Amino acid sequence: MTNLHVSTHPLVRHKLTLLRRVQTEPKKFRELVQELTRFLLYEATQDIGLEPVEIETPLGAMTGHRNASQIGLFPILRAGLGMVDPAIEMIPTANVWHLGLYRDHDTLEPVTYYNKLPPQLDVDLCIILDPMLATGGSAIAAVDILKRWGATRIKFLGLIAAPEGVAMLHQHHPDVPIYLAALDQGLNEKSYIVPGLGDAGDRQFGTG
């Protein structure tokens, strides 16, 4: 599928396996979410623009490069919160705008409960952070919000997705590239990703 990037890095596979294990307790789970986010963000930012910058090294002058894009990070609450720290460590100039979305347990429809985006678009590239892409409802709602805000360059960075969610996000927003650590088998009768890792918010925050 075009616009779908699933990491094949051996360390990503190794760490994702640890993350999935039912025995992995919240402290270790949070550390692994952070480590995996670094790998995937590295891949998702391969094409950001650079501009030349003149610098002096101890041995002379040279033309170097600096990031020319204002990047916005958009963690979806709650589970996306665990991806924020590694992302702003890698891109310290990024803005972070939280989006509060949960999927209703009965209807599975996304419900928006927090959005404080400023009136004017202030980023060149939006990166949505959410470990899980299941039915795709939450991701589609987040992209809808960003597009209504005026965003034209949006990427989705997750850890695990179901093929159903990827297909729905591509159908609604074919221009949004998806970066993942794994594409799993599918959804169960409660629309949880199988084999997945369970509820990513609960496993990070010990609320299961």
Pick between residue 48 and residue 108 the one whose CB is nearest to ligand URA. 108
Pick between residue 93 and residue 207 the one whose CB is nearest to ligand PRP. 207
Name the one residue in this structure whose structure tokens are 């996304």. Answer: 110
DSSP class per residue in 187-200: E-TTS-EESS-S-H
Helix (H) or strand (E) holding 34: helix 26-44
Residue 192 is a binding residue for ligand PRP (CB under 6 A): no
Pick between residue 93 and residue 185 the one whose CB is nearest to ligand PRP. 185
C-beta of residue 72 within 8 angstroms of C-beta of residue 91 = no
- List, as own/partner pairs, every contact residues 86-92 make where C-beta atoms lie below 8 angstroms and the sequence separation is at least 24, other chains included: 86/34, 86/35, 86/37, 86/38, 86/41, 87/37, 87/41, 87/127, 87/129, 89/38, 90/38, 90/41, 90/42, 90/45, 91/41, 91/45, 91/67
**For ligand PRP, what does the binding mask look like between residues 75 and 114, x meaning CB under 6 A?**
-xxxx---------------------xxx----x-x----
- CA–CA separation, 22 and 202 (whole Å): 12
Whether 202 sits among the annotated catalytic residues: the reply is yes
Active-site residue (options: 24, 85, 103, 112) = 103
Name the one residue in this structure whose structure tokens are 């986010």. Answer: 37
Cα–chain center distance at 194: 19
Whether 199 sits among the annotated catalytic residues: the reply is yes
Task: Name the residue whose CB lies closest to ligand PRP.
Answer: 201
Whether 107 sits among the annotated catalytic residues: the reply is yes
Residue 196 is a binding residue for ligand URA (CB under 6 A): yes
- Say how many residues touch ligand PRP, by CB under 6 A: 24
- Near ligand URA in 122-151, by CB under 6 A: 132, 134
Output the six-digit token pair for 202. Answer: 């609960």
Give the one residue of 26, 88, 192, 205 binding ligand URA; rule: CB under 6 A. Answer: 192
Pick between residue 17 and residue 207 the one whose CB is nearest to ligand PRP. 207
Catalytic residues: 103, 107, 199, 202
Residues in contact with ligand PRP by CB under 6 A are: 76-79, 101-103, 108, 110, 130-139, 165, 191, 199-201
